[in-house]
Amino acid sequence: MKILFLNGPNLNLLGTRQPEIYGRDTLASIETSVRERAQALGVSVEFRQTNDEGQLVSWIQEARGTAQAIALNAAAYTHTSIALRDAISAVGVPVVELHLSNIHARESFRHHSMIAPVCRGQISGFGAFSYILALEAAVNVCKTA
Ligand code: DQA
Number of folded domains in the chain?
1
Query: DSSP H helical segments within 7-99, as ranges?
Result: 19-22, 27-41, 53-62, 82-91
Q: What pTM was computed for the model?
A: 0.97
CA 145 – CA 137 distance, rounded (Å): 12
Q: Work out which ligand 1 atom sits closest to the CA atom of 22.
A: 11
pLDDT digits (tens, 9 = 90+) for 45-84: 999 999 999 999 999 999 999 999 999 999 999 999 999 9
pLDDT number for residue 145 = 77
What pLDDT is stored for residue 117 in this prediction?
98
Question: What's 92's domain CATH number?
Answer: 3.40.50.9100
Task: State pLDDT tens for residues 112-144.
Answer: 999 999 999 999 999 999 999 999 999 999 998
Sheet with strand 121-124: strands edge to edge = 44-49, 2-7, 69-73, 95-99, 121-124
Ligand 1 in contact with 101 (CB < 6 A)?
A: yes
Domain that holds residue 111: 2-144
Q: Is the CB–ligand 1 distance for residue 122 below 6 Å?
A: no
DSSP 101: S
